[in-house]
Structure 1
Amino acid sequence: MTKAGAYRLLRSGLVLIGLALFVAGCSAESEGPQIQRFEGQIMGTYYHVAVVGQRDEQALSELADQVHEVLADVDHKMSTWKPDSELSRFNRAPADQWFNVSQETYHVVAEAQRIADLTQGRYDVTVEPLVNLWGFGPDRHPDRVPSDTEIQQAFKKIGYTHLTLDPSGPMLRKEVSGLEVDLSSIAKGYGVDQVADWLESHGIHDYLVEVGGEIRASGERPGLSQGEGVIPWRIGIERPVSSSQSIQLVVPVSHYAVATSGDYRNYFEEDGVRYSHTIDPATGRPITHRLASVTVVTKSCMTADAWATALTVLGDQAGMALAEQENLSVYMIVKTDDGFKVEMSSAFKKQFSEALVAHQKAQP
């Protein structure tokens, strides 16, 4: 299981591969409060922050430094690249021993395990050996299809049911030797939430935060032209084609978090067969269904991040059924013989009814 390199966006430098979200209309300034922006690199990807205000250069620089510290703290706890990170030390620890972790790491792992339970293991943060085996992990090797024997050997080191949690520590424990946890399908979203919560706690309520394609927005921003006043933050959901970037649908996202997963840019081919970067923990092989892109909108970016990966693994039919069961706001783009079709959950249709009507009216 990977996510728009799901498991690889944080770790391989495949920055924004499969990205389906970008800020729509965020470049012009107007009189009065302005959109002020800063960016940086963390977790093997880029982040961008836009805040509304009139800060001088020094104040904006200090704000940028503080936001980077928030993200660096998440990275220090949950990185699998940094050998001294909390998660890396747990991954090196022997089996059948409790390992103390921070409340933050425990919180993220607990949410990952909750979604693993709901998906019956189709979302699994212990799937690293399979991701590596197919050449999409840090142990890069020439693209090739692994043997059945290699896949079965990797299965011995994975399984979310072999990872146990104890909130009293808080502590984690692995029950099989070689099991490792990789949070790159959920930690970016958690980092977005941490920045958003930090901004809120410091009196900043009009902002948009994006880390590696995962987004959370709040409040309003200045309009793009005189007389437009203030308007909600909006994002464009990208059409899933690898040759260009075009908008499929624009939706307002103030007070929400948005995450997207897709399989249309990160893959390899062998003997004319295309192998997706998204590995299904149930089979140990890349997904073969026709779901090209899935966008999830929730209050928590951490949760949206994980669900986008989970639904990508499940595919459009099983994924949409689970989205309806969990009342998730989900927008899917599915490949067909004639191009693409769109599928939306009931919650998404209700939440973005006005945007959908406007989109329909704008069609030729």
Structure 2
Amino acid sequence: MAPQAPSSVRAGPEHRVAVPLTLPKDLAPQVGGLEVEASGAAMGVTWTLKAITLPGLGAQVLARTVQDRLDRVVAEMSTWEPASHISAFNRAPAGAWQDLPEGFAQVMACALSMAALGQGAFDPTVGRVTDLWGFGPPGPVAVPPTDAMVDEARAQAGWTRLDFDPVGRRLRQPGGLGLDLSGIAKGFGVDEAAHALLRLGVRDFLLEVGGELRGEGLKPDGQPWWVALERLEGEVEGQAPILLALCGQSVATSGDYRRYMIHEERRLAHTLDPRTGRPSESGVACVSVLHAQAMVADAWCTLLSVVGAEEGLALCAAHDIPARFLVHTKRGLEERLSPAFQALLED
């Protein structure tokens, strides 16, 4: 996702425009609002905020609000933080139950639901495998792990090994299992920061965290928050760029061009297939998903990147998920749209 400055992005005849099928009933530009911008760093990425606010809620207040919420997610769910709740769980002995903060429990419930829906193609328990491939906290590796190393790590993984008590908000460590919520936690951070802004009374804003975006309300000129889907080198010509109107919507993007390792002149994507313990070979270069919740969009992106366009489009059709795929073909990168995404483009 390339979040161009909203002030410079407007829909025109050279674009394809994706607009939500339903909009809030009270959607109207704010009278007397002040345009402010804020930015910072959290979750290993940068974040930016463009908002329309009222006197007394300046950029510093909004920046502190966003930063506090993102830092809280890091403290709970970052495997890069030794003192985090998730790191404590990963160190826990077999059979130990760990109480979870409310947000952590929400993410676990969603993650396990997505794991069941994808029959293991999305799996939050492959932390040990992720580390082996050099994409986790231990850092990059010079060569890929051996088959024996991958098989051993996979034997300790598996979402069905987890006992999760959603009512009591607790999780049991079965022994040796490494949680990794990187495929969903950033989206949850976007949602948490957005909810905090809404509670402050900020109703019109565009928030971007590491390429995942959520838009609420309108800009002062009555335009929605327009966001352009990134165009990649190698895309087959003939398709106009897509602009998304983010009105109460989030968009997440996952791609094999962002993080990878090179081995024997092969590029191995950081997206791992939990079913094999190896980099995904689905042929998906990039997938973008729209959803009201950034957490859900984030998780769907991870799942669809693994299962590929054919199975992914079938899943999207069954669950009414708007998704846009860019798929590697002999001609270049070709676009595939789910029925729900196609409906957003139709007049």
Class of the TM-score when normalised by the shorter of the 2 chains: 0.7 to 0.9
Contact 1:240-1:292 within 8 A present in 2 as well: no
Size of the aligned set, in residue pairs, is 322
Kindly report which structure 2 residues correspond to 1:243-258, keeping only aligned pairs within 5 A, or say none: 248-258=241-251
Q: Shift of the alpha carbon at 1:27? A: 5.5
* In 2: Cα distance, 1:292 partner to 1:248 partner: 17
Which residue number corresponds to residue 50 of structure 1?
Answer: 50
1:262 has 2:255 as partner: yes
Q: Shift of the alpha carbon at 1:270? A: 2.2
Indicate the SS of the match to 1:72.
Answer: helix
C-alpha distance 130-207 of structure 1, shift in aligned 2 (>3 A): same
Which residue number corresponds to residue 68 of structure 1?
Answer: 67
Greater shift in the superposed pair: 312-321 or 137-146: 137-146
Q: Shift of the alpha carbon at 1:306? A: 0.7
Contact 1:51-1:207 within 8 A present in 2 as well: yes
Which residue number corresponds to residue 237 of structure 2?
Answer: none
1:286 has 2:275 as partner: no
Q: Which amino acid aligns with 2:61?
A: E
Q: Which amino acid aligns with 1:324?
A: A
The one of 209, 212, 232 aligned to 1:240: 232
The one-character-per-residue Cα deviations of 1:52-91 (angstroms, maximum 9, x if unpaired) are 13547x8321222122112222221112122221211111
Which residue number corresponds to residue 316 of structure 2?
Answer: 323
Which residue number corresponds to residue 40 of structure 2?
Answer: 40
Which residue number corresponds to residue 28 of structure 2?
Answer: none
Indicate the SS of the match to 1:23.
Answer: coil
C-alpha distance 34-27 of structure 1, shift in aligned 2 (>3 A): farther
Which residue number corresponds to residue 93 of structure 1?
Answer: 92
* In 1: Cα distance, 2:58 partner to 2:276 partner: 52
TM (norm. structure 1) is 0.83
Q: Shift of the alpha carbon at 1:298? A: 0.5
Q: Which amino acid aligns with 1:312?
A: S
Which residue number corresponds to residue 198 of structure 1?
Answer: 196
Indicate the SS of the match to 1:238.
Answer: coil
1:142 has 2:141 as partner: yes
Indicate the SS of the match to 2:191.
Answer: helix
Contact 1:125-1:183 within 8 A present in 2 as well: yes
Indicate the SS of the match to 1:26.
Answer: helix
Structure 1 spans left out of the alignment, 5+ residues: 1-19, 223-228, 355-364
* In 2: Cα distance, 1:299 partner to 1:267 partner: 29
Which residue number corresponds to residue 314 of structure 1?
Answer: 307
* In 2: Cα distance, 1:152 partner to 1:105 partner: 28
C-alpha distance 48-21 of structure 1, shift in aligned 2 (>3 A): same
Q: Shift of the alpha carbon at 1:320? A: 1.1
TM (norm. structure 2) is 0.87
Indicate the SS of the match to 2:156.
Answer: coil
* In 1: Cα distance, 2:217 partner to 2:285 partner: 31
Indicate the SS of the match to 1:188.
Answer: helix
Contact 1:240-1:262 within 8 A present in 2 as well: no
The one-character-per-residue Cα deviations of 1:315-337 (angstroms, maximum 9, x if unpaired) are 11111111111110111111211
